[in-house]
Amino acid sequence: MYKLVAIDLDGTLLTDELEITPDTITAIQQVIESGVIVTLATGRMFPSAKKFAEQLRLNVPLITYQGAVIKDVEEKKIWFERSVSHVISKRLIEFAQEHHVHVQVYQDDVVYVAEDNDKIQGYARESNVPYTVVDDLSGLADKGFTKVLFIGEPKYLDRLQIELHGEFGSDAHIAKSKPHYLEVTNPEANKGTALLYLAEQFGIQQSEIIGIGDNHNDVELITSAGLGVVMGNGVDALKSIADYITETNNDEGVLHVLNKFILDPLT
């Protein structure tokens, strides 16, 4: 019997229209009623994830910012938090300036940019969150960032990822969440570490966890779960390590998983 299900949002729970299908919502509520904990495990910032959690009527800690922050929906408690060090935060801002690549940083549930451009505007529309423009991002770095996000052409970000790995090594967690998104977090901030921490708080064993994702930033989520599920639209690298491959996000792949592994066995 599975006791915890952690679901990624973009490309997984959400359709390409950024919606959760009614049947999937109903199934999630049935799973919760059966006594299973359902949470979100997303790279999105907490305010963005919270809106979907409220739609699903979740009242549990959410894994957000790629695992850098676990916070309950009512925002009364932060269960887990790991920030990028101030040294690396400053260097990432310098890196963005040197390479002329768009960067945005996250601190205290606010996203900051140095320039109001089409990239942040598109991000804000997609994530349904506001943003703040400041003259100098490096001035915020002393406190460290929850997450740093580079947005650019996929092939360019592939090269940038190699450069960042070369400079920071194991001192930072660097992964693509979308072809045009490259995200940097604390090395202890990934979805898998956060998932196992949360499971431990509830006394849940690794074998009792289902993790569902679709992209490179879901590797740890998939490998840390007892049942690692990858969407039919998932990247090949993730499918190669999956325990199970479900339907696509537009074909209610999450619904299929919930029915197959939780709801159907109960009937």
15 with 105, same domain: the answer is no
Output the pLDDT for position 186. Answer: 96
| CB within 8 Å of 69: residues ≥ 6 apart | 46, 78, 80, 81, 146
pLDDT in the model for residue 173: 95
141: phi then psi, degrees, rounded to nearest 5: -70, -20
Q: What is the structure's pLDDT at 108?
A: 95
In the listed set 185, 204, 230, which residue is the last one of a domain according to the structure? 185
What are the tokens at 240? 């190669």
> Using only C-alpha atoms, what is the Rg of the chain?
18
For residues 147 and 204, membership in a common domain is answered with no
Termini Cα distance of the chain: 13
User: Cβ of 238: how many Cβ atoms within 10 Å?
Assistant: 22
Same-domain check for residues 230 and 142: no
Whether 41 and 54 share a structural domain:
yes
Domain boundary among 185, 205, 230: 185
Q: What sign results for the dihedral spanned by CA atoms 200, 56, 221, 166?
A: negative
**What are the average pLDDT values for consecutive 10-residue runs of the chain, which has 267 residues?**
97 97 98 97 95 95 97 94 96 94 96 96 93 94 96 96 94 94 95 97 98 97 98 97 98 98 88
**CATH code of the domain in which 77 resides:** 3.40.50.1000
Contact 152, 159 (CB under 8 A): no
pLDDT value for 17: 96
Give the position of tokens 């009527």.
57
Domain boundary, last residue among 153, 185, 217:
185
Q: For residues 26 and 69, state if they share a domain.
A: yes
pTM: 0.93
The domain in which residue 169 lies consists of: 86-185
